[in-house]
């Protein structure tokens, strides 16, 4: 074999691939540019799969948190809706039957306070017709009895009493997640601070299911107590248990624990209303002591000859003083 043949044979041992060759019926392009594009596509696919996995994990985590929140909400709503979770109140049927269409209405008995200036009096008659007659006469000459030490007559003016009463009321109710309401509290010979101290001590202990108390409040209108805890979740667990044997003084009392609902008035509409049985007397001079003036006015306005009638209530404020008249719903 010549040198040239050796060289030629060595050269033919290398296979030179063209840039494009056919495999079957398809053309396979293997240029560097094409290869780089395929690599980039593969990277994007891997990143997309990784991102999809992360999103799937995040979705599962959020769904689990949502289920826990929904279960907690349902538990609290159940406690609020069930009648036994409400504070104990003694109720009885008094004979009043309302219309069926009013069953879903919230009835609020108004209690209005209004300033009563000095030198005036409020008279409430048994019959509204009597009050109307007194108002129609307007001016009245009240005879002073000699036994009072004064003679002559006292001239007073009768005016109608007009009050602003609520006609529509909207209240926004919100369940507090850190507060409980304590009811069924006994009547004890303790000061307000002493009672609140004992309740705070009991419900701040972990062995009783409690925790640190942030605030305590005695609701004077109902006698119930509101405890606010520093941490969330404590109130919910206490309300679930419902009743606790609490030592106060030398005895132990069963107290009821319920969720605390805060109410805020969001809309209040009022309307003027004239009292049908009550009249206002003004211009009363300071010539008699308070008791004598009350007796004199009541005697005068009870006489049918003076247009009067049976007096149910009388409030009098002497000159120089200020009073506060309380108006309640007429249930007659």
Measured CA to CA, the distance from residue 105 to residue 124 in angstroms comes to 30
pLDDT of residue 2: 46
Measured CA to CA, the distance from residue 3 to residue 5 in angstroms comes to 5
pLDDT of residue 83: 41
pLDDT of residue 170: 80
Measured CA to CA, the distance from residue 319 to residue 321 in angstroms comes to 6
* The model scores a pTM over 0.85: no
Q: Which helix (H) or strand (E) holds 10?
A: helix 3-12
**Per-residue model confidence as pLDDT tens digits over 233-257:** 999 999 999 999 999 888 999 999 9
Q: How many angstroms separate the Cα of 244 from the Cα of each of 81, 110, 176, 236?
A: 21, 35, 20, 14
The answer, yes or no, to whether residue 18 has pLDDT greater than 60, is no
Would you state the structure tokens that stand for residue 254, as one six-digit string? Answer: 């069963």
Q: Which helix (H) or strand (E) holds 137?
A: helix 128-137
Average pLDDT for residues 94-98, to the nearest whole number?
53
Split at pLDDT 50, 70, 90, the class of 112 is confident
pLDDT of residue 30: 60
Choose among 178, 218, 177, 180: nearest CA to 197: 218
CA angle 18, 20, 21 (to 5 degrees): 90
Measured CA to CA, the distance from residue 3 to residue 16 in angstroms comes to 23
Strands 20-23 and 322-328: unpaired
For 169-267, give the CATH class: alpha beta
Split at pLDDT 50, 70, 90, the class of 204 is very high
Selected residue with higher pLDDT from 17 and 125: 125
pLDDT of residue 85: 47
DSSP state of 156: E
Measured CA to CA, the distance from residue 187 to residue 8 in angstroms comes to 121
Delimit the domains of the chain by residue range: 28-81, 111-167+270-328, 169-267
pLDDT of residue 149: 61
Split at pLDDT 50, 70, 90, the class of 261 is confident
**Per-residue model confidence as pLDDT tens digits over 44-87:** 888 888 888 888 888 888 888 888 777 766 665 554 444 444 55
**Per-residue model confidence as pLDDT tens digits over 131-168:** 999 999 999 998 887 666 667 788 999 999 888 887 77
């Amino acid at each position: 074999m010549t040198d040239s043949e050796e060289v030629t044979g060595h050269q033919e041992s290398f296979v030179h691939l063209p840039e494009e060759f056919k495999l079957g019926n398809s053309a396979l392009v293997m240029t560097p540019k094409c290869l780089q594009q395929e690599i980039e596509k593969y990277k994007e696919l891997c990143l997309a799969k990784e991102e999809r996995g992360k999103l799937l994990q995040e979705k599962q985590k959020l769904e689990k948190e949502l289920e826990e929140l929904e279960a907690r909400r349902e538990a609290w709503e159940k406690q609020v809706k069930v009648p036994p979770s409400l504070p104990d109140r003694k109720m009885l049927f008094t004979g009043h039957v309302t219309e069926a269409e009013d069953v879903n209405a919230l009835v609020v008995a108004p209690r209005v306070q209004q300033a009563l200036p000095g030198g005036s009096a409020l008279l409430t008659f048994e019959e509204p017709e009597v009050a109307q007659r007194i108002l129609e006469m307007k001016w009245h000459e009240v005879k002073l009895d000699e036994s009072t030490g004064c003679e002559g007559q006292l001239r007073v003016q009768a005016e109608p009493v007009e009050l602003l009463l609520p006609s529509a009321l909207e209240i926004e109710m919100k369940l507090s997640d850190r507060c409980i309401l304590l009811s069924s509290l006994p009547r004890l010979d303790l000061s307000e601070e002493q009672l609140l101290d004992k309740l705070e001590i009991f419900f701040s202990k972990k062995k009783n299911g409690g925790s640190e108390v942030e605030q305590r409040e005695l609701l004077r209108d109902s006698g119930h107590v509101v405890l606010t805890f520093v941490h969330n979740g404590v109130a919910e667990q206490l309300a679930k248990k419902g009743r606790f044997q609490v030592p106060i003084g030398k005895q132990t009392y069963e107290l009821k624990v319920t969720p605390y609902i805060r109410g805020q008035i969001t809309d209040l509409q009022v309307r003027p209303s004239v009292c049908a049985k009550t009249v206002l007397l003004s211009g009363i001079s300071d010539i008699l002591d308070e008791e004598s003036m009350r007796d004199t006015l009541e005697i005068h306005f009870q006489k049918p000859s003076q247009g009067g009638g049976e007096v149910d209530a009388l409030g009098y404020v002497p000159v120089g003083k200020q009073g506060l008249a309380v108006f309640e719903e007429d249930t007659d």
